[in-house]
Structure 1
Amino acid sequence: MPIKYLQGARYLNALSLDISGGADWVLGSYEDGGLNNLVIDTGLWIIPERYEHDLAGYEQIVKLRDSNKALAIDSMEGSQVIEESQITWNNNPKNRPWLLGTCMKFQCAVVNIPALLQSLDNAPEMA
């Protein structure tokens, strides 16, 4: 995820999550600064066809800047500069508009955060 879209990270066990209601891809919500923030089940949202709930090892969240969304993650490994030449670009964003591309060198997806937020905001469960 481009760092300019991140607001911060926190450990899940440090949050008091409200788990009542919501879509199946929302793990819960927490209040911070008077705002209600949704914690997204990242694996379920991004790769629902391969997601196995029992294997999720979420320990942290990454709060997305200028939104009320946080992505659940297993762990934060730090930041890495990825050169454009190292990215295999997603030439068909219709299927996964949040996927800018992949970087095999670091075995990661390059995430289009504005597209991800737009798809979350437009999801029927959020309307």
Structure 2
Amino acid sequence: MSNGTFAKEELVEDYLTALLTEEVPEKELQRENVAKLLETANVVENQKEVTLPTENLESSLVEVKESAALVDKQEALPVNKIETAEWEIPTTSFQALFFNVAGLTLALPLTELGGIHKIQKIGPLFGKPNWFKGVMLHREEKLSVVDTAMWVMPEKYNQALAESLKYQYLIMLDSSSWGLACESLVTTATLAPNDVKWREANGKRPWLAGMVKEKMCALVNVKQLVKLLNKGQGSNGK
């Protein structure tokens, strides 16, 4: 591993750890870690990007999700609760989907994946938060599209970043009508509970369940994320 890659990985780990513990003051975190992260980090250097045929994308992931749900149902054990509202640490392995947004990698459990769609024409709506891109029709269903980069890191979102984004897919959140726009799908992987540095307390970012340590990316708390979106709130609960 090169020194540059090591430095980038350290930076991403420090950034996500700060989000989890919230030991770093908000302004300092924005000024130092976030700026450096967006300028230099490429957390998917050693990950092989998934290439799935577009026409088979949804059916393939539905099969994986159903299989994961079946395993969870058959082998589920009691879970250990932590302070974060409505989030429980699993005691068995689970599968997660990894996807990219503006150079960052996010992950969510497959059992809370509502589906994946190719992004098509999006109709804007007035009077909505600036991170709300609009509504996309899919089989007569109205899907609410989130500008994920703007929602996750509003302090760094500017015209240059907006113009660089190439959203291709919509990651649907559980059974809600909300979808996160993403640029590319990375992979699916099985995670053991100790593969994740779990959030230990309530804080300003209830959507953050923890950090996947090896891949150094944020694991999304889907239920809390949907709650924030329903309230029109941003990533820090404001």
TM category, shorter: 0.7 to 0.9
3-state DSSP class of the match of 2:188?
coil
- More divergent stretch after superposition (98-107 vs 26-35): 26-35
TM-score, with normalisation over the residues of structure 1?
0.84
TM-score, with normalisation over the residues of structure 2?
0.47
Counterpart AA for 2:206: P
Q: Deviations over 1:48-86 (max 9, x none)?
A: 223443343321111122111111011111211122112
Residue 8 of structure 1 pairs with residue 119 of structure 2: no
Partner of 1:72: 181
Counterpart AA for 2:110: I
3-state DSSP class of the match of 2:155?
coil
Q: Indicate the structure (1 or 2) with the bigger Cα radius of gyration.
A: 2
Q: CA RMSD in A?
A: 2.0
The structure-2 alpha-carbon separation of the partners of 1:104 and 1:50, relative to structure 1 and needing over 3 Å to count, comes to farther
Measured after TM superposition, the shift of residue 33 of structure 1 is: 4.1
The structure whose residues are more often helix, as a share, is 2
Counterpart AA for 2:141: L
Structure 1 stretches lacking a partner, 5+ long: none
Structure 2 stretches lacking a partner, 5+ long: 1-107
Match of 2:146 among 25, 40, 44: 40
Aligned pair count reads 123
CA distance in 2, matches of 1:43, 1:71: 9
Residue 103 of structure 1 pairs with residue 212 of structure 2: yes
- What percentage of residue pairs aligned between the two structures are identical? 24
The question of whether the paired residues in 2 share the 8 Å contact of 1:26 and 1:40 is answered with: yes
Partner of 1:82: 191
Ranges of 4+ aligned residues in structure 1 off by more than 4 Å: none
The structure-2 alpha-carbon separation of the partners of 1:86 and 1:39, relative to structure 1 and needing over 3 Å to count, comes to same
3-state DSSP class of the match of 1:30?
strand
